[in-house]
Amino acid sequence: MSMRFRDSLVWITGASSGIGKKTAKQFQAEGAHVVFSAEREGDLNRVEDKCVGPGDTAVLPLDVTEEPAVSAATEEILAWFGRIDILVNNAELTQRGRIVETNLDVYRRIMDVNFFGPLMLTKAVLPSMLNRKAGRVVCVTSVAGKYSSPMRSGYNAAKDAAHGF
């Protein structure tokens, strides 16, 4: 197996399932030190337990919609590891429903998680990357941001905003 991420510090949001879980496991298998973030600590612990690569791991529960929590988490990771080499903005929320039946608070929550969350995280991490003149930010989006799918108006709109960002 390649070790191209050996000793890199990778912070992945939405790491408790799906793409985030697989991405976290792959980075860790390739030698990266990985910080797993999502809202559900139990799910994060289960992902961490399945990582068997050489890199260190840390679980840091996080609601990406809470600006003070995002700032605190960033400071905590920088205090632990001294740097963040790669931020993977992967947390997301989806929805299925007709526009007329979907409450505005659902749309707001989807925008908070899928657009404002990555925006806040990027703004929190970017100053340390600029100071070091090193680092990468990855934003996981969806083809739904370009080609809408039925019954997912909020998700489509949030992913379109993420593409623009």
Q: Which residues are catalytic?
A: 155
Q: Which residue has the tokens 């960002």?
A: 165
Counting other chains too, the contacts that 118-122 makes at CB distance below 8 Å and 24 or more residues apart are 118/13, 118/64, 118/89, 118/91, 118/162, 118/165, 119/165, 120/64, 120/67, 120/70, 121/13, 121/64, 121/70, 121/74, 121/87, 121/89, 122/87, 122/89
DSSP 29: H
Strand segments (E) across the chain: 9-13, 33-37, 57-59, 86-89, 136-139
Q: Could you give the angle at which helices 104-111 and 153-164 cross, rounded to 10 degrees? A: 30
Structural contact between residues 51 and 84, judged by C-beta atoms closer than 8 angstroms: no
